[in-house]
A and B are shown apart, each in its own frame.
Chain A
Amino acid sequence: MAIVKPEMKSYIWLETADGSIQEVEEEVAMFCPVICRELLQNGKGSSKNCAILLPERVNPANLELILEFCRFHQVPGRSNKERKKHDEKFVRLDTKTLCDLASAADSLQLRPVVDLTSRALARVIEGKTPEEIRETFHLPDDLTEEEKLEPLRNMTDDPRIRLLNRLYARKRKELYDRKKLKNVDVEEEPRVDERSVDDLLSFINGGDQDSKAARVTKNKKKSRGRKEQARNSSSNNEPGNNNKESNCLTSGCLNGDTSDGSSPSRNSELQNSPSAMFSSKLDLDDFDIDDELDPARKEEIDREVEDFARRLDSVWPERIQQILSLGQENRRLTPISMNGNGSMKRCTAGVDRG
């Protein structure tokens, strides 16, 4: 039993994890379910020797706050408005104290304080960018750039995320173009490969010389056209230092095209459409970016884009090695499905049909 001092409130003793012991009015402390239980069921807290041992996460500082809360609310006569006002003032604390208090209240099962602090912390988090949240709560920024870009995040509308995604797409486009450039260079040597199976057969069978020649020149023209186009688009890109991407998966598609010219016009259309789509897409993207952000922000983002590009470049060669080792075994791998690149898929389909 608690010692009842005549005509005065009764007090009980609480001990925090660090060993300090406090005396508290019983009615105030009883507001906490855990303390209440210890007092009533286990009969503790009546004297300094058998003080109620509080859970580990309660330290004297947050215990004081909690007791202040209990002291206010255990008085029956207050109106709801008064209580709300008090609560709003009560949670005007810095973030560290809020987290601390939430943790202590949770261990004491004091639901009202847990709700209050959670709501305050939710208000802190809401509307902030990830960087700001990391700073406020001292969270380590330990995800790799790639992890950050995984589809998990495509659900958000954050302009920075869209920007990063666009950058990723731009990078992929760059690689693709460089592939094409490389392959066009390679193509010029074994020109005989461009002829279709029919052509070869007719040649073997001693077919029409003229038509054969005509076909060959047609193919030559086409390849030149392609080369020019590739050169045009690549001139837009920043000079990269990744010449190793000679055999990116996209090459499978290209090589397939060139070795099978049975429906040349269709293939060339398909061939041209991806790059056309890419460049138009890229134009759109550039347009979008400029439109949405004001100059100061744009500069900032440009800087970050550079930074990101550099970081990506450093990771890229390793990934390419991996892909290369897969790519060489099977040239005709279906390309990775890319964002909005139905065109890539159409390309492969065309090849398969041919």
Chain B
Amino acid sequence: MDTDSDSDLLSDLPQSIIESILVKVPLVDAVRTSILSRKWRYKWAAITELVFNDTCLTSGHDKSIISCNLVNFITRCLFLHDGPIHKFELNTSYSPASPDLDQWLLFLSRKDIKELIIDIGEDDWFRAPSCVFFCPKLTHLVLVRCELNPPPNFKGFLCLKHLSLQQVIIPPHDIEVLISSCPLLESLTLSYFDSLELTIRAPNLKYLNLEGEFKDIRLENTPQLIGISVAMYMTDDIAEHFEQCSGCNFDKFLGGVPCLERLIGHIYFTKYLSIGNEQGNFPVTYQNLKFIELYQVSFEDMKELFVVLRLIVSSPNLEELQISSSSITTTTDIYDLEFWERDWPADCIFGKLKIVHMTDFSGLPHEIAFIKFLLGHSPVLEQMIVAPTIYVTDKVVKMLIDLLTFRRASPQATVKFIQEPL
């Protein structure tokens, strides 16, 4: 090391660099710097990001003691802190008692908090105090397992860009109001909601992430949406509701998203979209849609197949397609395979489609016909990857034979058949 200058290397760096260093170190280590030297005594207290997670836990076996120590640590840190706090993250499997959490949140609401992330243990769902709703500079809000009740005089988070609510109990009407009262909202994540009916009005929304049981989702004012990811679960109630509902879910959901670039759907998403969808009706074109990923598509349900076809035909610039099939091979219906010859004109071309990835295929007639359709209509296709489901072994050979016979519109298409080892 150097012996020519014994001068202090670190203490005189500008505060912005010191902060930059201290936030990259676990908070416990940052607090420890207070005993390094006189100048360092309160340097840690000026950092603007406080992240409390499992690195702050003391060792031991007694959970109540560890929990108590954690609460004390957080309280003391906040008490000793000096200056604005822009980010506060609490991520632990322990559940601090409500009075402590409420006090911390009240303290933070007075400190210009911008990013608030609270993800605590599963024992008690905490009730967010009303001071959370009066943090005017909030740009990032992530809440997990809590109860939210916006007070009547809540005017919205005017700076909020990123909102993520997971397993949050909130009256349905209030979610809509919450979303529409955040004019700058760019990213929205809602997870694990039960039977939610939701209309989303968010003029600046770019990324939407939904997971749960949704009865009805309407994207009413979301012209800037770029990425959508939906995982839809189904219960019997919702299935019944679907039988009776009118209107086309596809239009309600994807009717107003011209800038969409990436669409991801899981589980019952295609089924949801298929309700009310009429075959052969393509009012909207998605010029920017490049990536489509649809999981658990049922190739035995013609309506779901229509949805998939509608999506890909309405996306002239589609580059990558990933589809997984849901393998319920119980029915022995006669499949209307002539549909493929009859309803799809030869000039339906997927001009930009390069990569197709099919997984969990069981060799159903419509699955095979779909692959044939894609191969025949994709002139620039580079890769077609087919991976059959591991539960079907007898039809594999037949699938292979069929694949070999299909006409390929693209001279450089390679077809890979991947068989997972059992």
Q: Interface on A for B, CB 8 Å cutoff?
A: 94-96, 99, 102-103, 106, 114-115, 117-119, 121-122, 125-127, 130, 133-134, 136-143, 147-148, 151-153, 155-158
Contact of A126 with B25 at beta-carbon distance under 8 Å, contacts A115-B20, A137-B10 already known: yes
| Contact in complex: A148, B35 (CB < 8 Å) | yes
| Contact in complex: B35, A106 (CB < 8 Å) | no
| Contact in complex: A125, B34 (CB < 8 Å) | no
CB-CB under 8 A from A114, the residues of chain B are 16-17, 20
Q: How large is the interface on B (under 10, 10 to 19, 20 to 34, 35 or more residues)?
A: 35 or more
- Interface segment among B1-9, B168-176, B388-396: the answer is B1-9
Rounded to whole angstroms, the CA-CA distance of A335 and B215 in the bound complex is 65
Taking the closest CB of chain B, its distance from the CB of A263, in whole angstroms, is: 34
| Contact in complex: B34, A139 (CB < 8 Å) | no
Produce 1/0 per residue, B47-79, CB < 8 A to A.
Answer: 000000000001100000000000011001100
| Contact in complex: B31, A139 (CB < 8 Å) | no
Produce 1/0 per residue, B348-377, CB < 8 A to A.
Answer: 000000000000000000000000000000
3 closest A-B pairs (Cβ-Cβ)?
A122-B24, A118-B20, A137-B10
| Contact in complex: B9, A152 (CB < 8 Å) | no
| Contact in complex: A155, B73 (CB < 8 Å) | yes
| Contact in complex: A103, B13 (CB < 8 Å) | yes
In the complex, B239 has a CB within 8 A of chain A: no
- Interface segment among B36-44, B88-96, B327-335: the answer is B36-44
Rounded to whole angstroms, the CA-CA distance of A121 and B8 in the bound complex is 14
Contacting B21 at CB < 8 Å: which of A125, A141, A151?
A125
Of all chain A residues, the one with the shortest Cβ separation from B19 is: A118
Most buried by A among B7, B16, B38: B38
CB-CB under 8 A from A155, the residues of chain B are 28, 31, 72-73, 76-77
In the complex, B80 has a CB within 8 A of chain A: yes
Identify which of residues 165-186 in chain B touch chain A, using a CB-to-CB cut-off of 8 Å: none
In the complex, B100 has a CB within 8 A of chain A: no
| Contact in complex: B13, A102 (CB < 8 Å) | yes
Contact of A106 with B17 at beta-carbon distance under 8 Å, contacts A118-B24, A122-B25 already known: yes
Rounded to whole angstroms, the CA-CA distance of A186 and B105 in the bound complex is 55
In the complex, B279 has a CB within 8 A of chain A: no
Rounded to whole angstroms, the CA-CA distance of A106 and B16 in the bound complex is 8
Rounded to whole angstroms, the CA-CA distance of A142 and B39 in the bound complex is 9
26 CB contacts below 8 A, A to B, read A96-B2, A99-B9, A103-B14, A114-B20, A115-B20, A118-B24, A122-B21, A126-B25, A130-B32, A130-B33, A137-B10, A138-B5, A138-B6, A138-B9, A139-B11, A140-B8, A140-B38, A142-B38, A143-B37, A143-B41, A148-B35, A152-B35, A155-B72, A156-B28, A157-B58, A157-B59
Rounded to whole angstroms, the CA-CA distance of A136 and B31 in the bound complex is 18
CB-CB under 8 A from A137, the residues of chain B are 8-11
Given contacts A125-B29, A156-B28, 8 further A-B contacts (CB under 8 A): A96-B2, A118-B17, A122-B21, A139-B11, A139-B36, A153-B32, A155-B73, A156-B32
Of all chain A residues, the one with the shortest Cβ separation from B18 is: A118
